[in-house]
């Protein structure tokens, strides 16, 4: 994903975001997911595999996961431009897991991408693999073949109990992701990242066709700078409350 300081420019003719000049990084939510996986490995044992679906550039993201401490990484090569269609992405991920990582206890995701902002993939993958899901998780406990997760809902936390294997999507607050060490970075450089092609996944062409079509892409409606209220704090406060009540009519 492009880092959050990026300005987004749009190619109106192609109905797409211009990717040139954007700085692609591991999404912050994905960082929480990787960190949680590493912590679980440290306390419970096991192995951490990082998977990314995308073009060659995704290698950088996977190297970062390896440098943080993941045992191995897999790149699923997909050269399609962003379709904003999570169904397609979820089928690819579910099928990759089935074929390449059949033995697993937990699939961890970021709670959403920072871009498409769909927040759909973890749940769809859970459905395709017939697994329970807990999304937007800020606390996770695993005990044997059972887990308890706390997920953010409106103004509260929802406590969810589930059996493993399961799908978890990470929210800010779950943990504090570690920085890569120099040693980790050096080791990651040497590690080979196997590439899986869509052809290897036995997904029909029909199945991979996006079912959403973008008909328009535009910038947000511009907001004009409004009035600056002058005067001493007491006077300004009085004026603004009056404007909010009588002009904007919002209080």
Q: How far apart are the first and last CA of the chain?
A: 39
Site for another protein in 63-82 (CB under 8 A): none
Which long-range CB contacts under 8 A does 228-236 form with residues at least 24 apart? none
Applying the rule CB under 8 A, the residues between 38 and 57 that interact with another protein are none
User: Which CB atom, from 75 or from 136, has the smaller least distance to another protein?
Assistant: 136
- Site membership for another protein, residue 20 (CB under 8 A): no
Question: Which has the closest alpha carbon to 32: 141, 155, 224, 169?
Answer: 169
Window 93-132: residues binding another protein (CB under 8 A): 114-121, 123-124, 126-128, 131-132
Contact between 205 and another protein per CB under 8 A: no
225: contact with another protein by CB under 8 A: yes
Q: How many CB atoms lie within 10 A of CB 247?
A: 9
Contact with another protein (CB under 8 A) among 23, 179, 204, 223 = 223
Q: Looking only at residues 130 through 189 of this chain, which bind another protein when binding is defined by CB under 8 A? A: 131-136, 150-163, 166, 171-173
Is the CB of 9 or the CB of 189 nearer to another protein?
Answer: 9
Buried b (16+ CB within 10 A) or exposed e, 140-177: bebeeeebebbbbeeeeeeebebeebbbbbbbeebbeb
């Amino acid at each position: 994903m492009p880092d959050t300081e990026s300005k987004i420019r749009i190619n109106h003719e192609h109905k797409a975001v211009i990717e040139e000049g954007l700085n692609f990084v591991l999404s912050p939510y994905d960082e929480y997911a990787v960190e949680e996986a590493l912590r679980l490995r440290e306390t419970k044992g096991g192995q951490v595999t990082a998977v990314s679906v995308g073009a060659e550039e995704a290698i950088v993201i996977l190297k970062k996961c390896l440098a943080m401490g993941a045992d191995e990484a897999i790149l699923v090569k997909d050269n399609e431009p962003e379709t904003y269609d999570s169904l397609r992405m979820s089928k690819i991920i579910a099928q990759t897991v089935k074929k390449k990582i059949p033995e697993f206890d937990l699939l961890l995701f970021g709670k959403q991408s920072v871009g498409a902002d769909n927040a759909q993939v973890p749940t769809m993958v859970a459905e395709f693999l017939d697994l329970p899901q807990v999304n937007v998780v800020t606390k996770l406990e695993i005990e044997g073949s059972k887990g308890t997760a706390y997920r953010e809902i409106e103004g509260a936390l929802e406590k969810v109990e589930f059996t493993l294997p399961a799908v978890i999507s990470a929210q800010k607050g779950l943990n504090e992701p570690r920085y890569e060490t120099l040693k980790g970075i050096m080791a990651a450089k040497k590690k080979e990242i196997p590439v899986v092609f869509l052809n290897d996944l036995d997904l029909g062409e029909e199945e991979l066709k996006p079912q959403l079509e973008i008909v328009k892409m535009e910038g947000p409606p511009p907001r004009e700078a409004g009035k600056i209220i002058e005067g001493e704090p007491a006077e300004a406060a009085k004026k603004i409350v009056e404007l909010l009540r009588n002009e904007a009519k919002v209080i």
